[in-house]
Amino acid sequence: QSALTQPASVSGSPGQSITISCTGTSGDVGGYNYVSWYQHHPGKAPKLMIYEVSYRPSGVSNRFSGSKSGNTASLTISGLQAEDEADYYCSSYTSISTLVFGGGTKLTVL
Amino acid sequence: QVQLVESGGGVVQPGGSLRLSCAASGFTFSSYGMHWVRQAPGKGLEWLAFIWYTGTNEYYADSVKGRFTISRDNSKNTLYLQMNSLRVEDTAVFYCAKDRGGSTMRGSEIWGQGTMVTVSS
């Protein structure tokens, strides 16, 4: 199972909005609404930010939103803050009953 | 509080075996599916395995199928990962994670802090 495709890095200034894409196939992202997004600060446990494409867990800021179109899912962070600087990973359930992660995107807040 | 604590990591020689444990607390462990995920040094997250809340079904990534076995003891609120035939490329931080579902992979809201496994001669 190939990893989902994410940009290696994105950046933005405080207050701006950024979007991270996550491209898969009809066998994963395009075929199921089980796409999740995780925030990962080095040395810490990953944190679930979005599940089932667009749902936010309790306690996650509404500045984080998720969507999907075809085989590509997206995470948008609005009102960028310094604390948002981290690595972000998407994941998707697949047609062969496995889970696949994206390669990760490093977000830099300028 | 809701918590997952991994243990069992360490240094092992290539070809060796290791068993990781993940102790759960603060939630009804027997109601949720559980994952193992790893991160090799300088690399991204890699999903390894998932087990149903009942323990009756297991799923594996190709990279570990036939070498690693996920299991759980719901009476002890503990998840396990038996790792055999370890390779240098298995060196990573290993995380256990609780899924939102019992038998589907809906997203993991609780993660442990990770345990380091180093495979080296």
User: pLDDT digit string (tens) for A21-73?
Assistant: 999 999 999 999 999 999 999 889 999 999 999 999 999 999 999 999 999 99
> What pLDDT score does A103 carry?
97
- State the smallest CA–CA distance between residue A99 and chain B in angstroms: 6
Please check whether residue A86 is in contact with residue A18, taking contact to mean a CB–CB distance below 8 angstroms: no
Question: CA A49: distance to chain centroid?
Answer: 8
Average pLDDT of the segment spanning B74-95: 98
Residue of B nearest to A55 (CA): B107
Whether the pLDDT of residue A1 is over 80: the answer is: no
Return d(Cα A90, Cα B9) in angstroms, integer.
Answer: 26
Return d(Cα A102, Cα B6) in angstroms, integer.
Answer: 24
Residue of B nearest to A48 (CA): B109
- State the smallest CA–CA distance between residue A17 and chain B in angstroms: 24
Give A51's contacts in chain B (Cβ within 8 Å): 100, 106-107, 109
Interface of B with A in 82-121 (CB under 8 A): 95, 97, 100, 104-109, 111-114
> What pLDDT score does B70 carry?
98
Give residue B85's identity as a one-letter amino acid code: S
Return d(Cα A52, Cα A14) in angstroms, integer.
Answer: 28
> What pLDDT score does A2 carry?
84
